[in-house]
Structure 1
Amino acid sequence: MVEQVRDDATSAAARGRPARLRERLSWARDRSAWRRGRVLAALAALTAGLLAFHRAVPNSPGRLGSSLEAFLPWLGLPVVVVLVLALLRRSVVALVALLLPVAAWTYLFGGLLLPAGAAADSYDLVVVQHNVSDTNTDPAGTARALADAGPDLIALEELVPPALTAYEKTLAPDYPYHAVRGTVGLWSKHPLTGTRLLDIRPRGIPEGWKRGLRTVVGTPHGEIAVYVAHLPSVRFGAGGLASSSRDESAGLLGRALAAERVERVILLGDLNGTVEDRGLAPLTSRMKVAEQGFALSFPTAFPLARIDQVMARSATVAHIRTLPATGSDHLPVVAGITGLGVDSPGSP
């Protein structure tokens, strides 16, 4: 008899389980699900606002706006965190609010995730940009790695003797034309003319500071003015982002680009800023940036931002990506340029 009672109790409990399961799964229809997670919903809305209106964030004190814009794509991480917490909290209002930052992030960066739109051999020019580091212990190996990518142009920064000799010797067989001014240089498969030092030295920096050059490359598609630049470094400290020298140098470079008479222009360089950073507005307002590819280039150990840039005027930077690490603290970036013509194959 006792066993029968126990069996009946077990059967009743089993029959009750589906009801409890249905009750638990009905959280989305529960009115409380719309009241839970209001803080999460507010965080989602704040993230969306920062993404959509980052230009409205003031740049003082401490260049707060530029600091935000330097890492703007990483605002996608809070979206993921809020999504997980919203699911754990079973909050409908938070999940609905998440549509805002998802839409804003996709609008700003979704296109960069698309695969290369052009076939690898259909680019008019292929260019490599690399800050090789003045402490690079293997300049010859770095040069070979860059040449193996098969670009038409290779722009390098932080060129110092005796490493410069190693770059010149290693690249000479495939790149018979090159120009160096100060610590920046350009190696080319095509002839160079009109090479000159580009003065982008901000106030307060000694006269020996030479980090810019301008030259004209005679390509199969006609003449292209190519600029190579290395803007001053920025630092994060107790007072925020120290970027005034970088911003001033970007302004000088922007004025030089505005005065350039050659119609088609390519800018290559370590600009110490992302294309979203308002400090580079004198450049991004005049030049096209990469349409596809994130190519986070710095630092090598854990790339957080692309501060090595390829920009173009009267041409398109169709796709950009990184190459494997060299002896530098930057990753090289390689980009395919289109809109120049149809007869110069290459592949990044």
Structure 2
Amino acid sequence: MFLGALGTALLIAFHTRIPDATGLGLLLDNAAPWLGLVVPLLLLVALASRSRTSLAVLLVPALTWVLIFGPAIVPLSWTAPAAAAHTLTVSSQNIKAGTGAAAQSARELAANGSDIVALQELDAGSVQRVTDALGAAYPHHFVVGTVGVWSKYPLEGSRSLDLGLGWKRALSTRVATGQGEVSLYVIHAASARPNDHVDRDVMLEQLAAVVRADPHKNVMAVGDFNATSTDRAFAEMSTVLEEPNQDDGLFGFTWPRAPFAMMRLDHVLVRGLDVTSNTNVEAGLSDHLAVRATVNLPGD
């Protein structure tokens, strides 16, 4: 019992230190929040043994989980600043290539009040369908390969980012809101599988370097990062941008959409912006939930 409790606490606290042999590190990192489920299992064992000592030992992994993950699951609604007179709402979704539902996703995200719609896994023909679906309300757009952004506001300095891969799955642009510029990044990181996540790791590392060098005060990055916030490869991103909590608390898992989400692979990250809302929404036919965040514009 003692060893089980101690081992669980150590895994929760130090999962990123476990060597990534045969993909073990990747699996542990992304499953880290679920390690807390070991605690109730150990509780059943402790109750069966009727040992007060065992019950006391359970406090170690339980408190470790609360200390590590507790701050991330506090509802944003408890501390979020009030919405200013001018706000910017950004939505992002991996629409899943082959569903034919890119335009549906775009329309539903626009209907939710998005000023900017960012999509990943765009396939042949979907760019024009999305542009037609959003119409004159979103007159500005920029697309790089399978990643695109549609905006009510002008986009300036738009450029593609290859992030070390030799092909482009990311972009950067500046959103000219009239209340100040917001530097926006949209990314679809390479896939991550046990023993096959080097390309993803390189993309996240280089994106972090690009964002760190960005001179703009107000920065936002959205997309499918193919990594959870507990993934060791995501750590560098966390040093340059912050992820706001969810409006209603908990982890905001986005994938898979059915039967229930188990990981948050899709993120909204910010710097220099006050986030008034951050939540997941259903859109289209994708296996990913969309993410949506509202920020106060810098001019307010």
Shared fold, TM over 0.5? yes
Tell me the number of residue pairs that the alignment of Structure 1 and Structure 2 aligns: 293
Residues 242 and 269 in structure 2, CA contact (< 8 A), matched pair in contact too? yes
Where 2:56 maps in the other structure, the secondary structure is helix
- Which runs of 5 or more structure 1 residues have no equivalent in the other structure? 1-38, 343-348
1:97-112 to structure 2, matched below 5 A, reads 97-112=57-72
Deviation, 1:273, is 0.2
Establish whether residue 199 from structure 1 lines up as the match of residue 162 from structure 2. Answer: yes
* Closer, same or farther: CA 221–167 of 1 in aligned 2, 3 Å: same
* Closer, same or farther: CA 104–249 of 1 in aligned 2, 3 Å: same
Residues 291 and 318 in structure 1, CA contact (< 8 A), matched pair in contact too? no
Identity rate of aligned residues, in percent?
37
Pick one of 242, 253, 260 that aligns with 1:296.
253
Residues 255 and 263 in structure 2, CA contact (< 8 A), matched pair in contact too? yes
Pick one of 124, 134, 144 that aligns with 1:161.
124
Deviation, 1:231, is 0.9
CA offset digits 1:152-204 (Å, max 9, x no partner):
222111112212221111112432221111111111221111111112142xx
1:198-347 to structure 2, matched below 5 A, reads 198-202=161-165, 207=166, 209-236=167-194, 241-292=195-246, 293=249, 294-301=251-258, 302-317=260-275, 319-338=277-296, 340=298, 342=300
Pick one of 38, 43, 57 that aligns with 2:18.
57
CA RMSD of aligned residues (A): 2.2
1:83-232 to structure 2, matched below 5 A, reads 83-115=43-75, 116-117=77-78, 118=80, 121=83, 124-202=87-165, 207=166, 209-232=167-190
Distance in 2 between the 1:299 and 1:325 partners?
13
Deviation, 1:338, is 4.8
Distance in 2 between the 1:320 and 1:66 partners?
26
Residues 81 and 275 in structure 2, CA contact (< 8 A), matched pair in contact too? no
* Closer, same or farther: CA 87–335 of 1 in aligned 2, 3 Å: farther
Distance in 2 between the 1:319 and 1:68 partners?
30
Distance in 1 between the 2:232 and 2:261 partners?
21
Where 1:172 maps in the other structure, the secondary structure is helix
* Closer, same or farther: CA 54–340 of 1 in aligned 2, 3 Å: farther
Where 2:185 maps in the other structure, the secondary structure is strand
Pick one of 1, 4, 8 that aligns with 1:47.
8
Where 2:25 maps in the other structure, the secondary structure is helix
Deviation, 1:52, is 1.7
Residues 120 and 148 in structure 2, CA contact (< 8 A), matched pair in contact too? yes
Residues 30 and 230 in structure 2, CA contact (< 8 A), matched pair in contact too? yes
CA offset digits 1:214-268 (Å, max 9, x no partner):
10001243111101111100123xxxx4211111111221221122122211111
CA offset digits 1:116-138 (Å, max 9, x no partner):
23378558332211001111232
Partner of 1:74 in structure 2? Answer: 34
Distance in 1 between the 2:71 and 2:120 partners?
29
Q: Which is higher, the Rg of structure 1 or of structure 2?
A: 1
Q: Which amino acid aligns with 2:192?
A: V
Distance in 2 between the 1:287 and 1:316 partners?
13
- Which runs of 5 or more structure 2 residues have no equivalent in the other structure? none
Residues 310 and 317 in structure 1, CA contact (< 8 A), matched pair in contact too? no
Q: TM-score by structure 1 length?
A: 0.78
* Closer, same or farther: CA 125–95 of 1 in aligned 2, 3 Å: farther
Deviation, 1:317, is 4.6
Q: TM-score by structure 2 length?
A: 0.89
